[in-house]
Structure 1
Amino acid sequence: MQTDIKIAVLIDADNVPSHNVKEMMEEIAKYGNPTIKRIYGDWTRPQLGKWKNLLLENAINPIQQYGYTTGKNATDSAMIIDAMDILYSEKVNGFCLVSSDSDFTKLATRLREAGMLVLGMGEKKTPDPFIVACDKFIYLEILGQDSDEETKEKRTGRPQVDKINPKLIRLISSTVSDLADDDGWAFLGEVGNLLQKKQPNFDSRNYGFQKLTPLIKSINKFEVEERENQKGRFKLIYVRNKSGK
């Protein structure tokens, strides 16, 4: 956890499910300290009842927002106004916008222009414009995954992880090439960082792997090499394309 980074967490209760809130907050804590935690919705609606106990358990402040007009999402406007107020207060270094709604695309872009770290969280149905507007986008479906994926698939009726496909392999391969030395080797930490910049929703967990190293090792297109660092406290991992030999 990077305690020096203060994050404002703003949740759209209308467009994300209430389960996995604990796992969601644990994920956010990897990137900084969530000093502001607010969730927006019309709390008079019975559909949001599942949230209430979870908010107390996770110290999330509910913001009441009535739906003034049928067909218009007042929650979006309230979140955007609050986000700009928080931005100008200069109390945080970043934002986590939790929604599957593309209406927050412009907000994410504006916050990044102001130098803020912008994390996005939402379901896999989230439109691409919102995803690419964030520094990193995390799918809620991968949080709190069962160790037995088959059990979860039977329960939900759909697969929980994406398949490793040629598009993913090309993305990793081109990124390795971008960073490779004269012998074709690239430091895996730098590969991971560049992958994130190229594709904000890239996450090894989308493909059933907790870390990038086992994901790459599972693909026979790459070589992986562990090297001792100068201090010998831990090993450095390098990767190269097999065709580069």
Structure 2
Amino acid sequence: MLKATYQNQQIYSLLRENLDKLNHDFALLLRQWAIDQFSNQTTTSANLAKIIVKFSNLIQVFAEGNCAINLEIAIAGYESVINFFTRDAFPEDWDAMQQNLVAAYKQREKTFNKVIEEFKNTTVKTSSEIHVSNKQLQQELQEAKQQIDDLEHTKQEIDHLKTNLARLEQVKDNSITPITLEPIFSAIKNIKTSIQNFNTVILYDIENLTMGNKNPNFKFSLTKIINQINEIELVDKIAIQCAYADWSNSNLKTIKSDVQKLGIEPIQIFGFSFQRNAADIQLTIDAVELIHSRPSLQVFVIVSGDGAFASLAKKLHEYGKTVIGCAYKNQTNKVLAAVCDYFISIPEPEVETVNQSINRVKPIISSKI
């Protein structure tokens, strides 16, 4: 199959000839074989991973055979290469894989819902038939008892009626018990919960956070900022984080480890004197570009109190995006705070005593939605 996919052959004709082999064993075999291939990465691993993804795309929309099993084979292919296409090494392929998996999981959910609906209809029909059968059974029992009371003929006839009555009583006692769908509904709910969207981008104006590079202030916590952002209900999963600064500045070494640990991408902006607003301009350009290149991003977080970003927030609103602002409350432009859908206040960069812990004040989140 993979060879035919690589050579751009008519794979659907090959699939039609082997419908009996498209089963759950096929999905398990594909998954295990791919994992074994990627255990020792070679120069051809990337090409092999792309072929598996292409094959998964094709079989996902294959309408013949068992569509549910075809979908599981596609998911097995996607999941077998997800650990190979890492975000750092293959950012574009990683993003495409996330999109493929989300689409496949949603298709699986629809399939499950359809099966459950059919199962419910069958259950209702079966329950109705059981009810009718039980009603008929009760009537037969009553008639049998009446016959026993009326018939006083031969002992053989009485014994025969008693035998039939015992059989009917046994059938009644062994009637089918009600069917509960609660375990299936619970499983579907867990599947829906596991599917999350990478819908959020965070853009950090480091110069604004440090109050200038000449004498930077590092009283803020990037980890606490991210935690506060995640508390907002509209934020699902963070897809992109970019921090804009002149990272060649030795004064920024203090936060470089946090930036790397949190998976934030440092964007180099050389701090030439005639490019004072270079970071602000680059941040704005990247935000507008993301609107068109990544339409799945719905929440834009601007970590800066600079009033120049008020215009950017308005433009994001025109494209239906949610804007979250985050900065020092007393250092934030009022217009920027007013146009944001949410605003997160972080502790003011005040000089602390020896016994005073950093960022003790809990940030405040205000919402207009």
Match of 1:226 in 2: none
Match of 1:44 in 2: 248
Q: TM-score, normalised by structure 2?
A: 0.39
Match of 1:196 in 2: 367
RCO greater where, 1 or 2, for CA within 8 Å and sep 6 or more? 1
Question: Does 2:306 match 1:101?
Answer: yes
Aligned residues: 159
Residues 103 and 57 of structure 1: CA distance in aligned 2, closer, same or farther (over 3 Å)? same
Cα deviation for residue 50 of structure 1 reads 1.7
SS at match of 1:10: strand
Name segments (4+ residues, structure 1) moved above 6 Å.
none
Q: Which has the larger radius of gyration?
A: 2
Question: Does 2:320 match 1:127?
Answer: no
Match of 2:287 in 1: 83
Question: Does 2:228 match 1:20?
Answer: no
Q: Deviations over 1:159-217 (max 9, x none)?
A: 9589xxxxxxxxxxxxxxxxxxxxxxxxxxxxx9xx8328xxxxxxxxxxxxxxxxxxx
Match of 1:8 in 2: 201
Whole-angstrom distance in 2 between the partners of 1:29 and 1:65: 27
Q: TM-score, normalised by structure 1?
A: 0.57
Q: For the aligned residues, what is the CA RMSD?
A: 3.3
Residues 120 and 3 of structure 1: CA distance in aligned 2, closer, same or farther (over 3 Å)? farther
Structure 2 counterpart of 1:111, from 316, 319, 335: 316
CA contact (8 A) 2:228 2:344 kept: no
Match of 1:177 in 2: none
Query: Which amino acid is 1:121 matched to?
Result: C
Cα deviation for residue 155 of structure 1 reads 3.6
Q: How does 1:1-245 map to 2 (within 5 A)?
A: 3-4=196-197, 6-17=199-210, 18=218, 19-30=220-231, 31-70=235-274, 72-89=276-293, 90-124=295-329, 125-141=331-347, 155=356, 160=361, 196-197=367-368
Q: Which blocks of at least 5 consecutive residues in structure 2 are unaligned?
A: 1-192, 211-217
Q: Which blocks of at least 5 consecutive residues in structure 1 are unaligned?
A: 143-150, 163-191, 199-245
Pick which of 87-96 and 6-15 moved more.
Answer: 87-96
Whole-angstrom distance in 1 between the partners of 2:198 and 2:317: 15
Cα deviation for residue 129 of structure 1 reads 0.6
Match of 1:219 in 2: none
Cα deviation for residue 23 of structure 1 reads 1.2
Whole-angstrom distance in 1 between the partners of 2:267 and 2:203: 10
SS at match of 1:50: helix
Whole-angstrom distance in 2 between the partners of 1:161 and 1:20: 12
SS at match of 2:317: helix
CA contact (8 A) 1:28 1:34 kept: no
Is the helix fraction higher in 1 or 2? 2
